Structure 1
Amino acid sequence: MRFHTRKWVKPEDLNANGTLFGGKLLAWIDEEAALYSIVQLENPKVVTKYMSEINFMSAAKQGDIVEIGIDVVKFGTSSLVLRSEVRNMMTREKIITIENITMVNLDEQGKPKPHGKTQIEFVEDRLGNVE
């Protein structure tokens, strides 16, 4: 699992119980999945189609730092299936795992569009040997 983003839990991120609001965390995961997909598919028109079961395993409090990880499960014809894990850097506990986040590549009319990708590409792979 490659962890790409860290978020600092601030007062505005808390629920009435004083812990990280689940909806806020899901928004962070959705944003991270979208950004990851946009970079991988080289298209800013990518949308979330599906998220599998969500099961919160632990909480985060104000001041905690959470880390969001994304892995590619598979490349579809017009989709990218991701897996996400979020962990609390302060307590070392896993907060949530989402096994399937399906992102869809769109054309200018908002219809699914084949992306032609079959494997993860890193920026250095696209640039070649630039010196």
Structure 2
Amino acid sequence: MSEKKPCRASLAIKTALVLPPDTNSHGTLFGGKLMAYMDDVAAIAASRHSRREIVTASTDSVDFINPVYKGNTICLEAFVTYTHRTSMEVFVKAVTENIKTSERNICAAAFLTMVALDEKNNPTLVPEVYPETEEEKWLHKGAIKRAEYRRQRRITSKEMVEKFSTELPWLRGD
């Protein structure tokens, strides 16, 4: 695919108010809820870049840096930082804001890998992406190393799951 697009062309932003059903017994946002938000905004960015339906191939580690309290807002920004043939690395940054004090903190950041699909749900080529800002250039520069780490992690994961049975323990008679 000869078309190239800047990172900023895929920018997706999602903002939400953290309500009581979104929080745990500590009054902070459930980690799984934050991860779902991250997956959602990354999918939008990847779809915007590829103009295709996409699937999530992997999520790098998500470290919860600062808590997100009930009543805060959470704003997630995502954009494509690197592309391979059919896959896109998407950077997601989550910022929490205390509406009363205007204090803002990054609460999490992660990379997700998305794969573009054609009409038959097969992986399909995506346009190349190019960085423009210093932040985008820094993220783009480290992408090949992160991709190799993911490839090795996937091999290890496949080896691990081959060791396990799909039967439930109480059905095996253990």
Structure 2: distance between partners of 1:76 and 1:31 = 21
Q: Per-residue displacement from partner, 1:8-62 (whole Å, max 9, x unpaired)?
A: 101111112211000001001101111111121111x200101111110111111
Q: Give the share of equivalent positions with the same residue, in percent.
A: 26
Question: What is the alpha-carbon distance in structure 1 between the residues aligned to residue 120 and residue 28 of structure 2?
Answer: 41
Task: Find the counterpart in structure 2 of residue 124 from structure 1.
Answer: none
Q: Does 1:105 align with 2:113?
A: no
Find the counterpart in structure 1 of residue 67 from structure 2: 59
- 5+ residue gaps in structure 1? 121-131
Partner SS, residue 61 of structure 1: coil
Task: Select the structure that is richer in helix.
Answer: 2
Name the structure 2 match of 1:70.
78
Aligned partners of 1:52, 1:37: CA distance in 2, in Å? 16
Amino acid at match of 2:106: K
In structure 1, C-alpha distance between the alignment counterparts of 2:68 and 2:94, rounded to whole Å: 11
Deviation at 1:93, TM superposition (A): 1.2
Output the CA distance in 1 between the equivalents of 2:57 and 2:119. Answer: 17
Q: How many corresponding residue pairs?
A: 117
* Distance in 1 of aligned mates of 2:68 and 2:124: 38
Q: Distance in 2 between matches of 1:15 and 1:52?
A: 23
Point out 4+ residue stretches in structure 1 off by more than 3 angstroms.
none
Contact 2:45 2:79 in 1 (8 A): no
Tell me how far apart the structure 2 counterparts of residues 9 and 46 of structure 1 sit (CA, whole Å). Answer: 27
Contact 1:105-1:113 within 8 A present in 2 as well: yes
Quick check: 1:3–1:67 contact (8 Å CA) kept in 2? no
In the alignment, the residues of structure 2 paired with residue 101 and residue 17 of structure 1 have an alpha-carbon distance, to the nearest angstrom, of 28
* SS of 2:45 mapped into structure 1: helix
Q: Distance in 1 between matches of 2:74 and 2:54?
A: 25
1:80 Cα offset (Å)? 1.0
2:38–2:92 contact (8 Å) kept in structure 1: yes
**Is 1:18 aligned to 2:30, yes or no?**
no
* TM-score (normalised: structure 1): 0.81
Counterpart of 1:19, as a letter, is: T
